[in-house]
Amino acid sequence: MENRNDSPPAPLEITRSGDGATIAYHAVAGKSPGVVFLGGFRSDMNGTKALALEKWCRATGRAFLRFDYGGHGQSSGAFTDGTIATWAEDAIFAIEKLTQGPQVLVGSSMGGWIMLVAALRLKGKISGLLGLAAAPDFTEDLIHGELTPRQLEIIETEGQVKIPNCYDVDDPYVITKALIEDGRRQRLLHKPIALDIPVRLIQGMKDEDVPWKTALKIQEMLVGEDVEVQLVKNADHRLSEPADLDRLTTTLERLLAHIEAKS
């Protein structure tokens, strides 16, 4: 989860056709390629990294979008009704409806999984990717694989189980059977990832949630050659310290310059 701004401005909302669900968002007009931030599991669009990116994009005249998946932040729906597939559909919907021209996706943790899914669906619109502790396949590799026999029994019989939240002991994560089963269908790291666009991955080596070798696995499975991994020895999962935010914006600036030079 992210640190939050105490007084974030009120977001706009867009309604998904058909299901009536609303997606809350903030958008900044500017030059292209634009930047879209994809948050993590149970995080929202008012986190430290999202706001730092918006500040940088405003200062540089770059278009920017941040939003909440369904069941997150200020969007409609219940968190426990969501899956990787439904949150990826929210992201794809937001990118298609709320941005113009090519985009660079910045995905944090679960958002790093969703950025890959979205880029595979929106080929031609996505110019580059920047992952922060990107966590594709985490429901299978990092959650299901760590559940105890008793927890597996509970999730099978009751449809969900609570697991400890290291960021807030009084607010455990609720893991649903639907999330685990859908995550298994959305796995990416078991075969080549058919993306040939510039990708930059930043990964803390003190990350206790996502093993740092995950970034190397993503690099290995991407079919494109323009992939760079930054391993940060003293950084944790959040990557939200001032030095981390400077690294984020510097990496994004270089990525955008690289993309623009190629176009």
Q: How many Å apart are CA 152 and CA 166, to the nearest integer?
A: 20
φ/ψ of residue 139, rounded to 5: -65, -35
Q: Annotated catalytic residue: which of 137, 237, 240, 244?
A: 237
- CB 173, CB 163: distance < 8 Å: yes
Q: Looking at this protein, which amino acid is placed at residue 43?
A: S
Annotation says 90 is catalytic: no
DSSP characters for 169-209? TTS-EEEEHHHHHHHHHT--TTS-B---S-EEEEEETT-SS
Q: Annotated catalytic residue: which of 90, 207, 240, 244?
A: 207
Annotation says 68 is catalytic: no
Annotation says 109 is catalytic: yes
Q: Annotated catalytic residue: which of 109, 127, 137, 182?
A: 109
For tokens 């930059």, the residue is: 200
Quick one: tokens of 14?
A: 């867009």
Q: What is the CA radius of gyration of the chain?
A: 17
Burial (0-12, 13-18, 19+ Cβ within 10 Å), 210: buried
Q: How many Å apart are CA 67 and CA 72, to the nearest integer?
A: 9
For tokens 């950084």, the residue is: 235
- CB 21, CB 89: distance < 8 Å: no
Q: Name 135's Cβ contacts closer than 8 Å, sequence gap at least 6.
A: 40, 109, 110, 112, 113, 142, 209, 210, 214
Q: What residues act catalytically?
A: 109, 207, 237
